Amino acid sequence: MTDREALALIVGVPGISYGLRHLLMMETEDMNEVLEEPERFAAVLGEANVEAVCAKRQDAQRELDAMREAGVELLTIGDAIYPPLLKRITRPPHVLFVRGSTNLNAELAIAMVGTRRASEYGMAHARRISAELVRGGACVVSGLALGIDTAAHEGTLDAGGRTIAVLGGAHDQLYPRGNRGLVERIVETGGSVITEYPMGRHPDKYSFLERNRIVVGLCHGVAVIEGPARSGALNTAHIALDEGRELFALPGDVGEVNSVLPNTLIAEGAKLITGGADILNIIDRYVLPVGRKELREAQKAGRDMMPPSRRILTAKIEPKDEPPAGEKPAARKPAERKPTARRKPAEDAPRRADPQRYAGLGEKEMRIVAALEGGMLDFDTLAEVTGLNAGELGTQLTMLELDGLIRVLPGRQYALA
């Protein structure tokens, strides 16, 4: 068994979080040692996880055979061809399970995201802009969901381009199932279908949100096409800004529910686009000032392709509280995003949690709320105070943010909304 296969199996061990895997990878250069002698790593794993690794070892060959039969290849964070852009994000995936090309590096990659309940307007423009990006030499990345994601993938393929689809679950638990034909088309045309989840992992609302960071991490910029105020695409936009990616949005009819998110993003600083040329011009001017020829040479040499000193960073975004007529008001309250400062802003003074407002939250979410009653905290301090590992904390913070219960401030600072 190779080291990458052993790491892929450990990814599938219940109870071993991202943080624990990171510690294990610091303890040994060969993850086979963890599989063969988990007792040696009991100080990191804990007794329950030692038993879980032993159980995984018994089932290892069956899982590896299932991956091979599905045509899944492995790409680990230690591989030379692991995308340098993706490696720079917060919590880059340790392992990617890949169908199609394992070369996920692109001279220029743009993510296109939006609502599953897309209108004809959104679908048509997603296809058109994808095709225009292809003609400009870009690879289009999206999440294979219905609506805007599907239109972006299809528009790219119809134009003869390359696309990368990032799944929210395992390859053998494809969602939506109706896109199985689209998956095969992507693979057959030299594209890639990837996930960080091992075989058997069913997608859920948490895994879809986690997937968004990979969509962003593979790209130089993110384009939001359509979506209501409280949309998964908002989460992707926030990640793009956190990770220093350029953010674009397509304007829409102010009377349409699906136009609320992109119109709000534009009002708050996202770049307004009407076509692929707008994206290409901004990327060439600000994000890739070295020029396409130099960029191609840098890619071949394996050098980083995004000079951070030349990247434009826009402000973080919050959706407005006023929805179009006929739409139910969003639960999130408007909150102004202020520049990073060492001294805590007055508006982030300690607040007491309203029991009625937080009714129905889980135990882990309430730990976070209780910690933030004392005022703004950064991610590392929250992890220490709540006792949650990085993966659990990131997921819970994302859900609290989407519910409008916390605010995300510059520098990975968090406060009650």
What pLDDT is stored for residue 197 in this prediction? 95
Structure tokens belonging to residue 174:
């494809």
Same-domain check for residues 133 and 192 = yes
Same-domain check for residues 192 and 290 = yes
Give the C-alpha separation, 249 to 46, whole Å: 46
What pLDDT is stored for residue 296 in this prediction? 52
CA 6 to chain centre: 25
| Three-state SS letters, 294-314 | HHHHHHHCCCCCCCHHHCCCC
Query: Tens digit of pLDDT for each residue in 363-407?
Result: 888 889 888 887 888 888 888 888 887 767 877 887 787 677 888
Boundary residue ending a domain (282, 310, 338): 310
Higher-confidence residue: 116 or 334? 116
Kindly state whether residue 78 falls inside one of the protein's structural domains.
no
pLDDT(92) > 50: yes
Q: How confident is the model at residue 342 (pLDDT cuts 50, 70, 90)?
A: very low
Higher-confidence residue: 112 or 305? 112
What pLDDT is stored for residue 137 in this prediction? 93
Same-domain check for residues 297 and 148 = yes
Q: Give the residue-averaged pLDDT of 74-103.
A: 94
Kindly state whether residue 140 falls inside one of the protein's structural domains.
yes
Query: Tens digit of pLDDT for each residue in 172-225?
Result: 999 999 999 999 999 999 999 999 999 999 998 889 989 999 999 999 999 999
Same-domain check for residues 277 and 380 = no
Give the C-alpha separation, 417 to 408, whole Å: 9
Kindly state whether residue 330 falls inside one of the protein's structural domains.
no
The set of residues, in sequence order, having a beta carbon less than 8 Å from that of 110 and lying 6+ positions away, is 133, 138, 139, 140, 141, 219, 220, 221, 222, 223, 279, 283
Same-domain check for residues 88 and 42 = no
**Which of 310, 312, 147, 343 lies closest to 231, judged by CA?**
147
Q: What is the CATH number of the domain that holds 137?
A: 3.40.50.450
Kindly state whether residue 319 falls inside one of the protein's structural domains.
no
Domain count, the chain: 3
Same-domain check for residues 57 and 103 = no
Structure tokens belonging to residue 383:
């992890």
Q: Give the residue-averaged pLDDT of 120-126.
A: 97
Helix axis angle, 148-158 to 180-188, nearest 10°: 30
Q: Which residues pair with 79 in a beta bridge?
A: none
Host domain of residue 352: 346-416
pTM over 0.85? The answer is: no
Backbone φ, ψ for residue 166 (5° rounding): -110, 120
What pLDDT is stored for residue 409 in this prediction? 75
Helix axis angle, 379-386 to 363-372, nearest 10°: 120
Q: What is the CATH number of the domain that holds 361?
A: 1.10.10.10
Q: Give me the residue label for tokens 């890949």.
A: 98
